[in-house]
Structure 1
Amino acid sequence: MKPDHKSKLHIHLLFWILYYMLEVYLDFYWSRYQFPDFKWQLRLQNSLLLELGYLMVKIPLAYSLLYVYERVHLNKALKYLLSILIFILAVLAHRFFTHYVIYSHIYGITETLDGKQPSGFINGLVAFNSFMDLIFMVGLVFGVEITRQKNVLKEQISQLKSEKLDQELTMLKAQINPHFLFNTLNNIYGMALKKADETPDVILQLSKIMRYNIYEAAEKNISIEKDLENIKDFIQIQRIRHHHLNVRFQENIDNPSQEISPLILIQFVENAFKHGVSESLGDAFIIIDIELKNGILSYYIENSKEERPHQHSTKIGLRNIRRQLELLYPKHSLNVEDKTDRYIVQLKIDFHDTSSL
């Protein structure tokens, strides 16, 4: 049985139990005045029996109308006509049960109007009472079913939105990984042209990073400890190439197992190396400070900057990372300062306000 059908069965079963209890209570309360000579035990027994009998009329009526409403493919006029016909048959069945079973066999008396004259099987006043009893029940059933369907629709819409966000995040990561690989291979290419002795070490380090990108980064979340380890591997590659570079990396993490979406933090580091470090800068520097305290992440990156930035540099990394932050951490704060001689990024994430992780 599908989860939706299971949920529908449970809701409808609960509805009929509660409805039956309500009707028994109302009939039991009403019988105090209609049959004052009956003992309460007898009145309760009668109420339980007659309301159980009424359910034999009401349940088929309710689901027949629901079937017409949901499944029968007719124009509105024919649907209304068929619903009215079903309802008239239910009123007749209700009257038959009331007149020939309840009063004759359960109460052992003749049904009367106001206690004065006998009531026939078809009578305007008593037929109206049957109509009102059934219409009240139908209204409740349709109210419960429409509310249930709306809730199911909301859940489906929410699930579709979640799936759409997951697909978008997957595409963003797919854009980021080749972007990162392209930049690192450019570095290795430059070292290979110079026949640098460190080239094999850099390739080995790159292999470790790509293993992380392929396997670890495929997860929705990862521990911040593993994510920082990947950043350190990346910095190590860059240090081998840029001997003159002054890199300061400081971390203060009070909860290494705190989960974070992978490949977010490293993008800022990658941009710092790509756009802020050049062989022509003898005093190039990068400062990276990251702190996680009581569920709040503070991330600070500052790097030196060329006066003439690369003409072919793209902003795909920053655009993607902004979008990921919007999707995963709606209450984050990101401040980017593009100064003449340096570039500063300040990111703050409150993991307490994050429901998607």
Structure 2
Amino acid sequence: MKPHRKSKLQIHLLFWILYYILEAYLDFYWSRYQFPDFSWQVRLQNTLILELGYFLVKIPLAYALLYVYERSRIKNLFKYFLYVIIVVAAVFGHRFFTHYIIYPYIYGVTETLDGKQPSGYINGLVAFNSFMDLIFMVGLVFGVEITRQKNLLKAQISQLKSEKLDQELTMLKAQINPHFLFNTLNNIYGMALKKADETPDIILQLSKVMRYNIYEAAEKKISLSKDIENIKDFIQIQKIRHCHLTVTCTEEIDNPSQEISPLILIQFVENAFKHGVSESLGDAFIHIRIELKNGILTYCIENSKETKADKHSTRIGLKNIRRQLELLYTGHTLTVEDHSDRYTVKLTIDFHDKHNL
């Protein structure tokens, strides 16, 4: 059975149990005035039996009306006609059960109006009473079912939004600079030709970075310590190409197990290498500071600026990062300062914000 159908069955079953208790209580209370000579035990027994009998009319009525209501292919005019037919049939059924079964067989008396005048099977007053009893029940059933459907629709919409966000985040993560792998492999190839001693270490670091990007990054959250370790491996690999580059990375973390979405922080480092120092001939630098205190992350990157930087390409990278942050962390601030000789980026994330994904 599908989960939403199981939920529907449970909700409707609970409704009928509560409705039965309510109707039994009201009829039992009413019976002490209608049948004062009966003991409370007899009145209670009769009440429980007659309410079960009424269910033979009420339950088919409720679900017949719901069935017609939910059939979108039935034209409105025909729907109203069916509603009338179903309700009229239910009123006749309700009256038949009341007049011919409840009074003569359960209570052993003849049905009367106001305890005096005998009541017929169908007349205006008793038919109206039956109609109101049935309509009250139908209103409750429709209220429960419409509320259930609205809640189910909200849950489905929420799930679709979540799936859409996950797909968008996956797509954004996949946009990380693919040239990194090719450039690194080319550099490793050059080192291998020279038989450089650092070659095995660089291959190991590249393996760690790729493993992180393929496996760890597939998770929604990862510990901050693992994310920082990946950044450090990335920096070590990049230093092969930028031997003139000065890189500092300081960290002050009070909770290394704090979870964060993978590949968010490293994109700022990639931008610093790609758009800030890749063609610098002078004393290029990148300074990174990561601080986590009381659930608030402060992440600062400052890097030297190229004389012929590709500003359009930089904007594309920042647009990607901003979109990911908007989806993941409502409680964040991101500032980018473009100075004459350097770029400064500062990101603050409040992990306590309840609106974060």
Same-fold call, TM > 0.5?
yes
Structure 2 residue identity aligned to 1:51: E
- The yes-or-no answer on 1:182 pairing with 2:179 is yes
Q: Output the CA distance in 1 between the equivalents of 2:190 and 2:340.
A: 32
Q: Deviations over 1:200-231 (max 9, x none)?
A: 35455333312221122122222211111110
Asked whether the 8 Å contact 1:334–1:348 carries over to 2, the reply is: yes
Is the contact between residue 99 and residue 121 of structure 1 (CA under 8 Å) also seen in structure 2? yes
Give the CA deviation at 1:253. Answer: 1.8
Kept in 2, the 8 Å contact 1:227–1:263? The answer is yes
The offset of 1:41, in angstroms, is: 2.1
The secondary structure found in structure 2 opposite 1:353 is coil
Give 1:199 shift. Answer: 7.8
DSSP 3-state at the match of 2:215: helix
| Alpha-carbon distance between aligned partners in 1 of 2:74 and 2:99, rounded to the nearest angstrom | 35
CA contact (8 A) 2:331 2:355 kept: no
Matched residues in 2 for 1:277 and 1:115: separation? 99
Q: Distance in 2 between matches of 1:95 and 1:89?
A: 10
What does the per-residue CA deviation read over 1:120-157, in whole Å, with 9 as the maximum and x for residues that have no partner?
A: 11111111100110111111111111111111111111
Per-residue CA deviations over 1:221-256 (Å, capped at 9, x if unaligned) read 222111111100011122333333222211122222
Whether 2:226 is the aligned partner of 1:226: answer yes
- Between the aligned partners of 1:312 and 1:292, the Cα distance in structure 2 is 32
Paired AA for residue 333 in structure 1: T
Tell me the residue number matched to 1:288. 288
What is the rounded CA distance, in whole Å, between the counterparts of 1:220 and 1:256 in structure 2? 17
CA contact (8 A) 2:325 2:332 kept: yes
Structure 2 counterpart of 1:33: 33
Residue equivalent to 2:344: 344
Letter of the 1:292 counterpart: L
Distance 2:152 2:112 in 1: 47
Per mean C-alpha deviation after superposition, the further-off stretch among 11-20 and 207-216 is 207-216
* Cα distance in 2 for residues equivalent to 1:288 and 1:105: 89
1:2 alignment partner in structure 2: 2
CA deviation profile, 1:317-352 (whole Å, cap 9, x unmatched): 221111111111122111111111111111111122
Are the equivalent residues in 2 in contact too, given 1:183–1:274 (CA < 8 A)? no
Structure 2: runs of 5+ lacking an equivalent: none
Pairs within 5 Å for 1:256-267: 256-267=256-267
Structure-1 residue corresponding to 2:137:
137
Partners of 1:116 and 1:192 in 2: CA distance: 108
Q: Which one-letter code corresponds to 2:229 in the other structure? A: E
Q: 1:35 to 1:277 in 2, by over 3 A?
A: same
Partner SS for 1:345: strand
CA distance in 2, matches of 1:148, 1:134: 21
Query: In 1, Cα distance between the equivalents of 2:156 and 2:142?
Result: 21
Contact 1:277 1:284 in 2 (8 A): yes
Aligned to 1:70: 70
Per-residue deviation at 1:86? 1.6
Identity of aligned residues (%): 74
Aligned to 1:302: 302
Does the Cα contact within 8 Å between 2:287 and 2:302 map onto a contact in 1? Answer: yes
Question: Paired residues, what number?
Answer: 354
Deviation at 1:75, TM superposition (A): 1.5
Aligned partners of 2:277, 2:86: CA distance in 1, in Å?
A: 81
AA at the equivalent of 2:54: Y
The answer to whether the 8 Å contact 2:247/2:286 transfers is yes
CA 1:212–1:89: 2 relative to 1, 3 Å: same
> 1:204 & 1:185 partners in 2: Cα distance?
16
Structure 1 residue 71: Cα displacement: 3.6
Query: TM-score by structure 1 length?
Result: 0.92
User: Please, which moves more after superposition, 96-105 or 305-314?
Assistant: 305-314
7-16 vs 193-202, which deviates more? Answer: 193-202
